Amino acid sequence: MIIVKALITGASSGIGRDMARYLDSKKIDLILVARDEENLLKLKQELTVNVEVLTYDLTVNENVYELYEKVKNEKGEDITKTVWRKVKYNPAYFAK
């Protein structure tokens, strides 16, 4: 069984927040990552899918590695769709 879940960085505002809302409309579970836990928790309240909130400052290299290890080890699932803020992505990919 494939579990479809998206990890979105920069999810507390802007494009990351909007992508979370869009993927929620497509019924894709989410892992939301950002520095601003308060905004992440507010966003979580408005979404209808399963949401995990992780607070990390990904401008710190060690935090990037920590996030990777946390998701890899605790979830034991393939995250099939990842949206990294400020990285080019194709929104049509998520329309499948």
Q: Residues with Cβ < 8 Å from 78, sequence gap 6 or more? A: 2, 3
Report d(CA 93, CA 35) in Å as an integer.
Answer: 26
Q: Which of helix, strand or coil describes residue 8? A: strand
79, 7 in Cβ contact below 8 A? yes
pLDDT of 12 reads: 94
Mean pLDDT by 10 residues, the chain (96 residues): 76 94 93 95 97 92 82 57 45 49
pLDDT of 93 reads: 46
Residue type, 22: Y
Tokens coding 59: 């401008």
The pTM (predicted TM-score) of the whole model is 0.75
